[in-house]
Amino acid sequence: MHIPDGLLDTPICLVTGGISIAAVGYSVHRLKDSLADRTVPMTGMVAAMVFAGQMVNFPVAVGTSGHLVGGVLAARLLGPWAACLALTLVLFVQKFLFNDGGLLALGPNVFHMSVIGALGGYAIQSLVARLAGDTPRTRVIGVVISGWVTVMAAALLCSIEFAVSHAANPDFRFLKFLALMMMFHAVIGIGESLISGGIIRYVATRRPELLYHPPTIAPGPWRAAITTGFWLALLAIVLLAPFASSSPDGLESAIAESDLSPLPSDSFSLFDNYTAVLSTNNWESWSVVLSGLLGTSIVFFIAMVLGRPLTRPAAPEGTGD
Amino acid sequence: MTDTNRHPIGPLRLRAILKLCFTVTVVLVACSLSWEAWPATGALTAIVLAALACARIRLAVLLRRLTLFLPIMTLVAISIPLSQGFNPTWLKIAATVFMRGVVSFLSGLWLIQVLPFDNLLYTMRTLRVPAVVLACLSMMHRYLFVLWEETERIRTARRARRLGPVSRFSEWTAAIGLVGTLVIRSLDRGHRIHRAMLARGWDGHLRPWN
């Protein structure tokens, strides 16, 4: 079931929406390289197929039934990037054609089903293929495992988003809610695994050429990977830093609970507690963001300088002397 | 794939953008109100119901959609007290979530009533949504109902071949076979469409829409 509006706080929806837009935007960017002119017909068709496939009910118990989610299935059929876009389109059409799910909650829904379901599902399938070899049997096993893990991961994330949304409620018991969510979704995850694995097995035994076979690509230039990582880190800081907790972290709590002497507070610190850049009142969130941006830039700069000798081409053989 | 066309904002698209803005505003306001602000939520509900009446939504449609939605929203709303116990604050929390969900649902219902999907696609083009996304979306919209009908045909054929009651296991394998067949037919159809597009000169570049 899709998350409706009203369940999660607006800032949580906006943050997950920002992450989803970044992930789907990156998927669209990567699509230009992977499927070329087949992108439009195949992505649109698989999106329509997932939508129609979700209409098929699987009986669970008396009066209840489940249905396909489709993220890991689409990833096995189209690859990660097109699958992420296809699932996003499914959710978009469900909202704007059938009013299913929330408008603000489109962010968390895309995050859970498209980003975690398709991209995360494909990553798990690739991991299984790398560990156990890429055979028809391991492909089905990969889909089964990724089906369960992505549903559980989405449930975990949803619980955390829910807890952050209701942080002001002193009676809210996160662990109890998490236990309920995980128990409920463990069963849903088994259903998703069985359905997705069964469908992939059905297709693989009849038309194996229809499944997605990842192209063998030579590793790209290291500069592109570093630049992408850098921008993703900056994006994460801008989106998440304002919501950073002011509570003590694990180390501070451990020090507070032990008899260790406290950390010296009069020593010089460039970004004291991440809020010293703009120390004016009411600017703490922006100060945390700015501290994060500066800190990340410095760490990347140090990594680039230290890693530079490792990326230089090796000297040709026989010229060492 | 390159985006070769940009449309200016015409009156039709301006109206569509205003409708989108109205819905987003209603949802944002509804989601910021708590149970204590029930008069404001009531006023907001009245505005949305008036908008639905102006959009000439049939009462039967409205009631049918609410009949499907309200039990689900009730379950969602009481999921919080289920996890924290039914202490004195549970009703306020559940009512807040319920009110927010219902007002947002009604505004979404209004939006799909007054904003046809093709108009939404044109508006998204104005808002600089990437052309490849819009092309995939329009392709999905085009074949959504085709595949829906195909699913029904496969389902009817399977029912016709079934004699008498079947076990739960058989129902699952039949449903998996149904979706598996749908997957194969959809991908085959996708390949056929792709070849037809190539025959008509498709080179991955999107042309302007009219």
**DSSP string of A136-190?**
HHHHHHHHHHHHHHHHHHHHHHHHHHHHHHTTT-TT--HHHHHHHHHHHHHHHHH
Identify the closest residue of chain A to B135 by CA–CA distance. Answer: A40
pLDDT of residue B183: 93
Report how far apart, in Å, the C-alpha atoms of A101 and of each of A4, A110, B171 are. Answer: 5, 11, 28
The reply to whether A92 and A148 lie within a common domain is yes
Q: Which of A45, A59, A173 sits opposite B139 (nearest CB)?
A: A45
Distance, CA of B188 to CA of A86 (rounded, Å): 17
Which parts of chain A register pLDDT below 50?
219, 248-270, 276-277, 279-280, 282, 306-307, 309-321
Chain centre distance of CA A115: 5
Residue A235 in domain: yes
Find chain B residues with C-beta within 8 A of A47's C-beta: 136, 140
Domains of chain B, by residue range, sit at: 11-116, 130-199
Encode pLDDT of B37-84 as tens digits.
889 999 999 999 999 999 988 999 999 999 989 998 888 888 777 777
Q: Which of B87, B148, B202 sits opposite A52 (nearest CB)?
A: B148
Residue A204 in domain: yes
CATH of the domain at A96: 1.10.1760.20
A50 contacts A70 by C-beta, under 8 angstroms: yes
Distance, CA of A46 to CA of A144 (rounded, Å): 20
First-residue to last-residue Cα distance in chain B: 19
Residue A216 in domain: no
pLDDT of residue B4: 45
ipTM over 0.90: no
Question: What residues 83-102 of chain A have any CB closer than 8 A to a CB of chain B?
Answer: 85-86, 89-90, 92-93, 95-99, 102
Six-digit token pair at A210? 């229809």
Query: Which range of residues forms the domain containing residue A306?
Result: 222-246+269-311
pLDDT of residue A266: 47
pLDDT of residue A309: 45
pLDDT of residue A261: 44
**Whose CA is closest to A3, among A85, A94, A119, A80?**
A94
pLDDT of residue A160: 92
Q: How many domains does chain A have?
A: 2
Degrees to nearest 5, angle at CA A212 with A208 and B177: 50
Query: Residue with structure tokens 């993703």?
Result: A232
pLDDT of residue B50: 94
* Helix/strand/coil percent split, chain A, to 5: 70, 0, 30
Encode pLDDT of A1-45 as tens digits.
688 898 899 999 999 999 999 999 999 988 876 656 788 889 999
Q: Is A61 helix (H, G, I), strand (E, B) or coil?
A: strand
Q: What is the pTM of this model?
A: 0.77
Encode pLDDT of B76-90 as tens digits.
888 777 777 777 778
The reply to whether A51 and A146 lie within a common domain is yes
The reply to whether A68 and A176 lie within a common domain is yes
The reply to whether A165 and A298 lie within a common domain is no
In Å, how far is B153's CA from the nearest CA of chain A?
Answer: 12
The reply to whether A196 and A226 lie within a common domain is no
A44 contacts B143 by C-beta, under 8 angstroms: yes
pLDDT of residue A318: 39
Buried b (16+ CB within 10 A) or exposed e, B185-195: bbbebbeebbe
- Return the amino acid letter for B82: L
Q: What percent of chain B has pLDDT over 70?
A: 92
pLDDT of residue B35: 82
Contact A56 B142 (CB under 8 A): no
- pLDDT grade for B149, boundaries at 50, 70 and 90: very high
Find chain B residues with C-beta within 8 A of A92's C-beta: 137
Residue B44: how many other CB atoms lie within 10 Å: 20
pLDDT of residue A310: 44
Report how far apart, in Å, the C-alpha atoms of A296 and of each of A18, A231, B7 are. Answer: 20, 10, 40
pLDDT of residue A221: 54
Report how far apart, in Å, the C-alpha atoms of B122 and of each of A40, A221, B21, B208 are. Answer: 17, 38, 16, 11
By the CB < 8 Å criterion, does A306 face chain B?
A: no
